[in-house]
């Protein structure tokens, strides 16, 4: 099992450009999450999907959109990138049982110039 995979690993954008971060999991999990990690800020939830066909905002959703394409895949889109979106983005998945075990991907390091 590959677990949670993310593409790309690195990306540099100019302000105003758009891009989509891809995430896939092969653990048959219902829930998937997108986090951003900034220095000294820990992990902050951007969006999540409790099951296929549903998505909800997290703590910091502004400037982002998501799509739960199917049970395996959950993408994060930046429509008009801003320097404040420079961060490391992590996707996670979980079985969404009573206990919210989550497993993380390797991350995408995004720089917006």
Instruction: Say if CB 68 and CB 76 are below 8 A apart.
Output: no
Q: For another protein, which residue of 70, 79, 101, 113 counts as binding (CB under 8 A)?
A: 101
Q: Name which of 19, 47, 28, 25 is nearest 109 in CA terms.
A: 19
CB of 43 to another protein, least distance (A): 4
- Of the pair 38, 79, the CB lying nearest another protein is at 38
Query: How many residues form the binding site for another protein (CB under 8 A)?
Result: 22
Quick check: 58 binds another protein (CB under 8 A)?
A: yes
* Chain residues in the site for another protein (CB under 8 A): 4, 40-45, 48, 50, 56, 58, 90, 98-107
């Amino acid at each position: 099992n590959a677990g949670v995979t993310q593409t790309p690993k690195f990306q540099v954008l100019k302000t105003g450009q758009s891009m989509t971060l891809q995430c896939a999991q092969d653990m048959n999990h219902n829930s998937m999450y997108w986090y951003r990690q900034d220095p000294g800020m820990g992990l902050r939830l951007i969006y999540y999907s409790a099951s296929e066909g549903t998505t909800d905002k997290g703590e910091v959703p502004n400037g982002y959109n998501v799509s739960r394409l199917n049970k395996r895949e959950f993408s994060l889109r930046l429509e008009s990138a801003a320097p404040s979106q420079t961060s490391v983005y992590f996707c996670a998945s979980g079985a969404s049982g009573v206990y919210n075990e989550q497993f993380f991907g390797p991350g995408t390091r995004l720089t917006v110039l």
